[in-house]
Structure 1
Amino acid sequence: MPKADFFTSLGLFVVKDFFDLELCDKIRIESRDAVNNAASVLGKDGKYEVIEEIRKIKYSQVSEETINKVNSCLIAVKPKLEEHFKLELTDCETPQFLRYTKGDFYLPHSDSCNTDNAPQSVKNRQVSAVIFLSSESEELGEEYYGGGALTFYGLIKDPLWQKYGFSLNGEAGLLIAFRCEIWHEVEPIIFGERYTIVSWFF
């Protein structure tokens, strides 16, 4: 499975150790112990709804203090994202804290939508950001999970490669950012729990 540096060569933005392991542990434990609710997707009518055949994940209601800390870290990296993607960005959406348990997944999708009934906030999205709080591994342990690969499609423009998926080896502390129109999925979790933070810059 490709390491994070491989995705840099394909135009994605990668920062290893964006969060240190101590912070990852702290937020992961808070997410685990917080109230967890089923995450929704944008339906055909432009409204958010829970459709577990498409997205089976929980989001954690962490403290405002944690939300604000993560938001500050994301805003601090905005100038580098602007330089990397040659974009002018204004802000980012409130971070979401996601918890995947055994069997959870998210089918292939993009994070932007330009249909008439889509919320303006979704239309405005330009860059997606994912921060890993746990690591993909074959080992068993509280900080590890198996399966659950973040897989990207269409990274190579050659038609022969358009449907080929490149799966990222998730590492605690890693930030990866990509244009919102890129198709991607989270493959089913085999064991353990996968914790990530996601946000979208506009």
Structure 2
Amino acid sequence: MIDLLEIPGFVLDDEREELLAELRAIPGTAATVLSQDMGGRVQPNVRKTTRLAVSPETRERVKEWLMDAKDVLAARFGVALGDCEDPQFLRYEEGDFFVPHQDGNTPLVHDASRFRRVSTVIFLNERSGEPRQGAYGGGPLVLHGHYRTHPGLRVEAPADPGTLVAFRSETTHEVTPVTHGVRYTIACFFRAADAP
């Protein structure tokens, strides 16, 4: 089955609205596949989304929230966790997506992503079946069952505003295309305690 942890209310409404105001006001750049320090490059047929450069204060504040959750995540997934990477603040516009992929901890990958153990996504705005101000449609985070034991299994992660969803970094997952509005999320990866 899929090992998934949901933490509702991880980001409180006033903090979430403050983050959204900052994210809506800043331009961004096309997100790469893997981070720049791992040799990442833009591949719009694989990942089409925008990465937003928030203020250093915002980045550190969110990273602090995530690090405060480290022990809960380590206990839940039974792994020793060290630091988390810098959070990725993401904007998915209509048509944006990320094909099925794994974030790390896979035997065939030899870059720095091999040290990732737990992936997290924080949902910031509401998902709605109908177009309306501040909400988005489509674009769910879908986790896939293991290709040998549960090849057809697909689980849509909860996406309530302020919720943090965590899963093992080797879990195959995708973001299906956004159909309307703009989807705002924060992705972050916790590395193994013994990672260099």
Residue 99 of structure 1 corresponds to: 91
Q: 1:132 aligns with which of 123, 127, 148?
A: 123
1:57–1:99 Cα contact (<8 Å) kept: yes
Return the alpha-carbon distance in structure 1 between the equivalents of residues 39 and 60 of structure 2.
Answer: 26
Is there any run of 5+ residues in structure 2 with no aligned partner, and where?
192-196
State whether structure 2 residue 165 is matched by structure 1 residue 179: no
CA offset at residue 195 of structure 1? 0.2
Residue 21 of structure 1 corresponds to: 13
The Cα offsets for residues 103-127 of structure 1, whole Å up to 9 and x where unpaired, read as 00000000015446x432x111000
- Aligned AA for 1:102? E
Return the alpha-carbon distance in structure 1 between the equivalents of residues 76 and 34 of structure 2.
Answer: 28
- Aligned AA for 1:136? R
1:142–1:193 Cα contact (<8 Å) kept: no
CA offset at residue 135 of structure 1? 1.7
Q: 1:10 to 1:54 in 2, by over 3 A?
A: closer
CA offset at residue 158 of structure 1? 7.5
Q: TM-score, normalised by structure 1?
A: 0.86
State whether structure 2 residue 75 is matched by structure 1 residue 83: yes
Q: TM-score, normalised by structure 2?
A: 0.89
Residue 60 of structure 1 corresponds to: 52
Return the alpha-carbon distance in structure 2 between the equivalents of residues 132 and 47 of structure 1.
Answer: 27
Is there any run of 5+ residues in structure 1 with no aligned partner, and where?
1-8
Residue 42 of structure 2 corresponds to: 50
1:127–1:179 Cα contact (<8 Å) kept: yes
Q: CA RMSD in A?
A: 2.0
2:2–2:143 Cα contact (<8 Å) kept: no
The Cα offsets for residues 72-117 of structure 1, whole Å up to 9 and x where unpaired, read as 000000010111011110110000100000000000000015446x
Residue 167 of structure 1 corresponds to: 156
Identity among equivalent pairs (%): 36
Q: 1:37 aligns with which of 29, 49, 55?
A: 29
